[in-house]
Amino acid sequence: MNISVRAEADLNLVAHHDLANAVRFLAVDAIEKSQSGHPGLPMGMADVATVLFSRFLRFDAAHPTWPDRDRFVLSAGHGSMLLYALLHLSGGDVSLDDIRSFRQWGSKTPGHPEYGHTPGVETTTGPLGQGIATAVGMALAERMANARHGNELVDHFTYVIAGDGCLMEGISQEAISLAGHLQLGRLIVLFDDNGISIDGPTSLATSDNQLKRFAASGWSVRYVDGHDHEAIAQAIAEERATDRPSLIACRTVIGYGAPERQGTEKAHGAPLGPDQAAAARRNLGWEYQPFVVPIPVSKAWRMIGQRGQLARLAWLDRYERLDPAQRERFDQDQAVTIPCAYERAAGKLRERLATERPKLATRQASQLVLDAIASTLPGLIGGSADLTHSNLTQSKTQHPVRPGEFAGDYIHYGIREHGMAAAMNGIALHGGFIPYGGTFLAFSDYSRPAIRLAALMRLRVIHVMTHDSIGLGEDGPTHQPVEHLAALRVIPNLLVFRPADAVETLEAWDCALRSIDRPSVLCLSRQGLPTFRSDARGKNRVARGAYLVVTPDGGRDVTLIATGSEVSIALEAARLLATEHIRAAVVSAPCFALFEEQPDEYRAHVLGSAPRVGIEAAVLGDWARWIGSDGEFVGMRGFGASAPASVLYREFNITPQTIAAAARRSIAREAKRT
């Protein structure tokens, strides 16, 4: 008897009610033992999740990362025990000990699902709305990969469980609008429509008709009783056949089965307590001790987890029968490695820039980089939040993705910075692509929650953020990002680059593309900057985070450390100081995070022992790490203003003369101490 027949035989012996109760009470028991967690969603959505996993979701519990699996995203991440129970029961790498250790140190079952920590978790969720928005990126990546490789290799669905909180968060509107516009027909959202939030009934804060809202964005929508398993199955089956993204509003009872908690906010975010847990067992006919799943139910769930073996093996067979060239192309796309063609194109551009030494805005230099390399990296997927011609993020060889047409490699995200950032995470998580997207640096606050999650998940996504300082000029303080560099630099595992010329811009792109386990932000100027680098074939100096641009003969009296557009001002200040016989070293520091990772000896060599002056058209932030407690800082003390860039730099005292004066003060203080 083959796996499929055995699975159906075992499943037919077990009622849906028992399969769902196994999920419910593993969640209840883990939360009771932990004395922490959210039982309401697992109890309320167990019927929906059981139907999805047992009848529709194509997965192989023993191989949770095979490429053509369906993706399942628990956007309402506070209900994490629903997912952990499903993974454990279906035979995934989540043991009963892990379930017993819910929310404890070292367990695979943290409070909210974490990608890379728990096998089978497709994305980190918890901040509401992030899951559904990330899933839009996954569904988009599936369609783009399908356009490249065909149905034989790429043909899967993305399913989401989302709650009221996910749909209240503003990012959800950006996500559903983009998904509807692009006609992502293989995206199905199962809405836990229980009408309860932490404060009480959702009617306290919202009166939205979610079905009409989604329908207005081009989705297929329907309502279903979330505790009627046959109705749920029929709804999912029919929505799988649509050519639009789908919302199935599942009317459920939060904390289903707990007589004094169900249907109220009391079931949301706290253990039921022993009395209510016992009452729920009696109410639902689950007369087993905590953490006990009867053998027939356990066996049926294991068969559910094994059924996907046939689909995976069939996929492997199709893969093996491919033309070798097609198979190699698929493998290369999955690996998203840096090919030799990229190395040649980047090297040729570097020689050109170092030889010609153009005066360019670094956003223009970035476009030159993209024009040179985009065609050599088939998995590079660009985009912008309606600022393509300001961010300069579309190369000459890239073509737009359009509704129902997914063979392109450039995405017009619209004015949806937060949704764009989350979708980029989903594209990276899906695999096969390196996503990048553009906006203004001042708008990074709109993207920040998704950037933080990318850093937490260790994803290679690249944010191109232009207009990086007061140098954008007349648009004024609303668009001048004085505090944003400091805010981004404190996010762990995030590379923030602020290149100072065209060569550094190329090197920053190279670093970002090679950083396979962390996201990057490229902060690029609007105003033209002179190219000071002339080393046509040298090593990537940006990769060390900071380096000496000028090393005076005979030692140094002061070290000027600058980033981005201020490096050229620091070089002018050094020349000014030289006329006074003051020896000033100049350091370009395009990436603090990479510099911090360098050996102590290298950092000491670059920074030197002389007094230091930091220069950046931004607030102080964490500059004290590099200039020391006695160092001087030339930068911003408040917001910018509306005026031409040259006037702003003069009025805010970011000039060679101001830097030279700061250097003199530093040297004088040092002389007094010694």
Active site residues: 417
- Spatial distance between the Cα atoms of 298 and 483, rounded to a whole number of angstroms: 54
User: Buried b / exposed e across 342-356, counting CB within 10 Å, b at 16+?
Assistant: beebbeebbebbbee
User: Helix, strand, coil proportions of the chain in percent (round to 5)?
Assistant: 50, 15, 40
| Closest residue by Cα to residue 77 from 198, 160, 188 | 160
Give one DSSP letter per residue of 578-611, joined into a string.
HTTT--EEEEE-S-HHHHHTS-HHHHHHHH-SS-
Q: Could you tell me the sign of the dihedral formed by the alpha carbons of 523, 423, 155, 78, in that order?
A: positive
Contact criterion met (CB below 8 Å) for 11 and 303: yes
35 backbone φψ class: left, alpha, beta (φ>0; ψ -120 to 50)? left
Q: Closest Cα partner for 243 from 183, 182, 160, 175?
A: 183
Q: Six-digit token pair at 508?
A: 């920053």
DSSP secondary structure letters along 505-525: HHHHHHHHHH-TTS-EEEEE-
User: Is residue 487 within 8 Å of residue 443, measured between CB atoms?
Assistant: no
Q: Which residue has the tokens 């709305």?
A: 129
- Give the span between the Cα atoms of 302 and 309, in whole angstroms: 12
Secondary structure element (H or E) that encloses residue 464, with its range: strand 462-466
> Encoding tokens for residue 124?
């980190």
Residue 326, C-beta contacts closer than 8 angstroms, at least 6 positions apart: 149
Question: Which phi-psi region, left, alpha or beta, contains residue 628 (left: φ > 0; alpha: ψ -120 to 50)?
Answer: left
Using an 8 Å Cβ cutoff, are 171 and 130 in contact? yes
Nearest residue to 64 via CA among 312, 297, 320: 312
Cross-strand partners of 559: 585, 612
Cα–Cα distance, 229 to 246 (Å, whole number): 18
303 and 4 in contact (C-beta within 8 Å)?
Answer: no
Dist. CA 576–CA 218, nearest whole Å? 62
**What are the residue ranges of helices labelled H in 185-323?**
210-216, 229-239, 274-284, 295-320
Q: Contact at 8 Å (CB) between 175 and 133?
A: yes
Residue 206 has φ and ψ, to the nearest 5°, of -150, 145
Helix, strand, or coil (residue 576): helix
Q: How far is CA 296 from CA 9, 24, 367, 592, in A?
A: 11, 17, 61, 57
Q: Hey, is 163 helix, strand or coil?
A: strand
